[in-house]
Amino acid sequence: MPKFQEKISTVILAAGVGKRMKSETPKILHRILGKPVISFVIDLARDVGSSQIIMVVNGRTNELGSLGEDICYAIQEKPLGSGDAAKKGLEKAVHENVLVLCGDVPLIQKQTILGMIEYHKRKKAVLTVLTCKMSNPHGYGRIMHRRYGFMTRIVEQSDATTRQLKIKEINAGVYYGNKDMLLSALHRTTADNKQGEYYLTQAVHDIAAAGKRVAGYMIKDEEEIIGVNTKIQLADVRAIVKRRWFEHLMQRGVLIEDPATTDIDLSVRIGERVHIRPHTMIEGDTIIEDGKSVGPFVWINNGRRVFGANA
């Protein structure tokens, strides 16, 4: 599927404090096979052809380091909710078409976003929301539909009734649509809810109530929308990234004898006909040349053997 041809401004919401991570490291900077969580989301924005990438942060930009010269920043000084964060980012957007992503959801695939954009165009929607039917929807906002499949609103978990909590289709936190329409709706949002926050989801109700089309693009793969809010979720996401990465390597012909006892960073470059023995860890800026056998019981970091026999 080709990149979307129209110019897109992508807003990445990354201002969350991440208290549940219980770590001094910001949650978006925790690493998965050597790669920060936020870098997965930035790469996704680039892969779908974003002409502008805006990251909404909480002001501690010095902790982020260099994420790329193509990133511009919007500051949310106080944690007033996703609606306030999105508004800060959208105010810097220069294109009519905007994509909103969450900085702590690293598994969404390029094909999913491109499919969502095409669906948005086909439905002639003003705003399209990524949704998913989940076996356990706890913690997610629930999708409310009217006739003809368009959305009326999203009800947050904390505000949902017992009946609404039974709904399986949830909000994945990804939005695509018209900047002016979305920004105008966000300027009208209030913090009249149990959390006392400005919800991005409130804009959905505002736009739909004005008679505009809000579409829901539903995907089946629950893995794609897992967020990283705790160290347990970080481990879950890491396992999925590792599985995908190892499948890619083995399809290329790399023999990984025992994936369960092997770790290979995403930055490692591996040649053809390579054999990775059990209990092997390869990290950082490392090249494994064609035909090499590595391990067992070896740790290589940035091309240098840290532990074990010669690779």
Tokens 């990775």 identify what position? 276
Closest CA to 207 of 185, 175, 233: 185
pLDDT value at residue 128:
97
**For the domain bounded by 8-225, which CATH number is listed?**
3.90.550.10
pLDDT value at residue 2:
46
Task: Copy the structure tokens of residue 100.
Answer: 């909103």
What residues does each domain of the chain span?
Answer: 8-225, 252-307
Torsion (CA) 297, 303, 306, 310 in degrees, nearest 10: 50
Closest CA to 172 of 128, 207, 213: 128
Q: How far is CA 40 from CA 16, 83, 107, 252, 260, in A?
A: 17, 23, 7, 22, 23
Amino acid identity, position 248:
H
Higher pLDDT, 145 or 294: 294
pTM assigned to the model: 0.92
pLDDT value at residue 1:
42
Average pLDDT, integer, range 6-11: 93
Whole-angstrom Cα distance, residue 3 to residue 110?
9
> Which H or E run contains 88?
helix 82-90
May I ask the CATH class of domain 252-307? mainly beta
pLDDT tens for each residue of 203-255: 999 999 999 999 999 999 999 999 999 999 999 999 999 999 999 999 999 99
